[in-house]
Structure 1
Amino acid sequence: MKISGVDIRPGNILEFEGGIWKVAKIQHTQPGKGGAYMQVEMKNLIDGRKTNTRFRSADTVEKVRLDTKDFQFLFEDGDKLVFMDTENYEQIMLDADLVGDARAFLTDGMDVTLEMYDERPISVDLPEQVEATIVEADAVVKGQTASSSYKPAVLENGVRVMVPPHIGSGTRIVVDVYSREYVKKVD
């Protein structure tokens, strides 16, 4: 499906210059002279290269639809991750790079979605939010009771997040996997 250069949005998968690219960031610019354009930061899903490209409204680009398939994460084997197809129980090994920074949140048995292009896995999507236990949290500073104040905490997987002052060590919280932000306390 062809779309205009100014209709590109973050998360879109594009076919561009012979590769498959995922849009990371966009910035719409309307200079004083000339036409408006979209500055697009993209990452190649096959080889990991990044690029910044300008698309004008007259430019068209092919938007790609990826097939998705449900898998379950089994275990880590060095820099490889082993997943099992939930339909036929076949196992596949993928590079940890396909998960990116969200790798810290992968746990044994976690259900994930693999995005496939021509039957080849090109990215792994974890659930948006996961539960985690805080193993270390700074003490509350007296007088710092404003609702907008947060303190650093370390989760069981080693990830640092900012949490409200009333959250202490040993508390289970819900964390946004991709922004690494505190969402809520688990009841």
Structure 2
Amino acid sequence: MASTADIKNGVVLSIDGQLWSVIEFQHVKPGKGGAFVRTKLKNVVSGKVVDRTYNAGAKIEIENVDRRDFSYLYADGDGYVFMDTSDYDQITVPGTVVGDAANFMLENQAVTIALNNGNPLYVELPASVVLEITYTEPGLQGDRSTGGTKPATVQTGYEIQVPLFLETGTRVKVDTRDGSYLGRVND
């Protein structure tokens, strides 16, 4: 068991059976009364953010979370197979853990997976990826003005909104956090 003196940014705590990452912390020593630690915690799985206050010296449970680089290999039923780039071990991560990241993963893409006692917690992608548009309606002449968008399906099967002038076969940069179009990629 650790105490509140061990709290630092990035440390993962186990609270009521759930894992919470410390985003911010502040040791407070008021003029009157006992010292305390004010923290802002983010749930590792759901992403929910909460504020929590601990009395100074309170016992807390720190968990070991190992973030390692993996390469995405292929989808296998309801799971996704990744290979550890350091020792070439393969792991299968359930679709529920991968979540929306599956919309932006291509074979052999580098990802970071957070592991706790060998169990995958979440998959982290780069901030943006380059994907090819596999289908979109053709733009009409005169639709080249700014501001207009249309749906386009990328090679992973995910649908994004792109400007009207883009055509099937165009490679685009996509933000992995919200699926927004960032720009065209010229080869």
Query: Normalized against structure 2, the TM-score is what?
Result: 0.68
Change (3 A) 1:18 1:113: same
Bigger CA radius of gyration: 2
Structure 2 residue matching 1:184: 3-state secondary structure: strand
Q: 1:165: which partner in 2?
A: 164
Change (3 A) 1:75 1:54: closer
Change (3 A) 1:41 1:142: farther
Change (3 A) 1:129 1:121: same
Measure how far apart 1:174 and its partner are.
Answer: 0.8
Change (3 A) 1:180 1:53: closer
Measured against aligned partners, the alpha-carbon deviations of 1:120-162 in whole angstroms (never above 9, x if no partner) come to 3211112221111112223435665542222221112221111
Measured against aligned partners, the alpha-carbon deviations of 1:34-81 in whole angstroms (never above 9, x if no partner) come to xxxxxx996563xxxx6978647xx24978773211111112211122
Task: Give RMSD over aligned pairs.
Answer: 3.4
Query: Normalized against structure 1, the TM-score is what?
Result: 0.68
Contact 1:80/1:96 (CA < 8 Å) preserved in 2? yes
Measure how far apart 1:165 and its partner are.
Answer: 1.8
Any gaps of 5 or more consecutive residues in structure 1?
24-39
Change (3 A) 1:153 1:89: same
Whole-angstrom CA distance in 2 between matches of 1:14 and 1:101: 25
Q: Please tell me whether residue 68 in structure 1 is matched to residue 67 in structure 2.
A: yes
Q: 2:33: which partner in 1?
A: none
Whole-angstrom CA distance in 2 between matches of 1:123 and 1:51: 10
Amino acid at match of 1:149: G
Q: 1:20: which partner in 2?
A: 19
Contact 2:139/2:167 (CA < 8 Å) preserved in 1? no
Structure 2 residue matching 1:97: 3-state secondary structure: helix
Structure 1 residue matching 2:96: 3-state secondary structure: helix
Q: 2:130: which partner in 1?
A: 131
Structure 1 residue matching 2:88: 3-state secondary structure: coil
Identity in percent: 30
Measure how far apart 1:171 and its partner are.
Answer: 0.8
Report which stretch shifted further, 174-183 or 110-119. 110-119
Equivalenced residues, count = 159
